[in-house]
Homo-oligomer: A and B are copies of this chain.
Amino acid sequence: MSSEAHLQEDTDGVSDPKGFLAAAVSSDVRGKGDDLLDTGIVYSPSPCSAAGVFTKNAVKAAPVLDCERILKSGTLIHGVVANSGNANACTGTQGIQDSLKMIRLAEAACGSLEDSFLVCSTGRIGDLLPMDRIGPAIAKLGESVVGGIKFGNKFAECILTSDTRKKTCTARFEIDGKQVTIGGAAKGAGMIQPNMATMLAFVTTDIAASSNELKALLTEAVDPTFNAITVDGDMSTNDTVLVLANGESGVALDDKSKALFQKALYQVCDCLADKIVSDGERITKVVEILISGAANDIDAENIARAIGNSLLVKTSWYGNDPNWGRLMDALGYADAQIDQYAIDISYGDVPALVLGDPIPENKPKWKEVVSQARFPIKIDMHQGNGSYRLRASDLTEGYVDFNKSE
């Protein structure tokens, strides 16, 4: 007996699967004297297999290097310690020491073995972490989670930077009368253009799976979700997606459960990715760019990204302007096989261009579509079978205003 995977949004997320605990506190990482939640722990008393995908940026933050090292060593994992407000990136030797110290403090606080904690930081690049404040905070967090606190919701809050809202969801399915749960939390907002994984995302599950199995399934789920969104085209130094599996559901990842788990994991990643692009810094629109008929999938992706990252395209969306000329210009400089006289473009289902010929009488209808807060643009290249879906945001004066100051 099995059931379809069922997804719920705005849940406790990472603390929903059996045996996962979570807590968050304020350690004033930003040094502003406020009591914003900024430091958190996810903890499983049962050891977890784990996997991660990380930024492809050549400039990697110290915590990213630590996660990669620990996951490569294959040790069992008990949890993740995270902070917002400071990315611990480009912080030299001291940053490397601070990252390792966060791990050791979390392990000590939870009575766990060496290299059984992963670490994530997000926020401003180039400043040293205030370890004098973060240290005591981690000790306090350890007490909370060892005491059984399941505040996944607060954990989801403590990782936020310029996000305006928490991003959590939980998928559940049943198999042979046992329930499997996958919980997730993410943060996004700026420096969002995934080429590997974007931003921070944490996924916990009570299925039993090997690290290698998790890695394969996570990679597969991340490509069409976290990797297929863009806000500003900037790939961050800290992008991380982690998955921890503690096996407490009593269900193992096997031929029987795999398809359901795969689907549920995809749903969680897709839901979190959508929440990230929808909450991009000062955006007003999410546009789904659907490329079909490209010579191959890579061409399709190049075309979608050229469009989704074009400043002129993004500003025209913001202004409700169905400026398909800018779409044509952007796809023209994508690295792809293109015949400008064989392209169909439509806004929603309203054709703008058919085989390269404009249908100007449809303009009022394009305008209606582009005025919506979320709409699809469909482009058929008529070159082959390549396809790609990219979710992109518009670009607003608010984004510029928000990012011009420190």
Contact = CB atoms under 8 A, between A and B. Distances in A.
Interface of A: 56-60, 87, 89-92, 124-126, 190-191, 195, 232-237, 309-312, 315-316, 318-319, 321, 323-326, 328-334, 336, 338, 340-341, 353, 356-358, 395-397, 399-401, 403-406
A312 B403 contact: yes
Contacts of A325: 87, 89-90, 124-126
**A-side interface mostly:** loop
Oligomer: number of copies: 2
Contact of A400 (B89, B330, B332, B396): B396
19 contacts: A57-B332, A58-B333, A59-B329, A59-B331, A59-B338, A60-B340, A90-B356, A91-B358, A92-B357, A92-B358, A125-B323, A125-B326, A232-B312, A234-B311, A234-B330, A235-B329, A319-B406, A395-B400, A397-B400
A405 B328 contact: no
Given A90-B328, A332-B237, A321 B400 contact: no
A90 B323 CA distance: 12
A56 B58 CA distance: 28
Contacts of A334: 58
Contacts of A395: 311, 400
Given A57-B333, A333-B56, A356-B90, A319 B405 contact: yes
A315 B402 CA distance: 9
Contact of A318 (B57, B195, B400): B400
A133 to B, nearest CB: 19
Contacts of A92: 341, 356-358
A56 B405 CA distance: 36
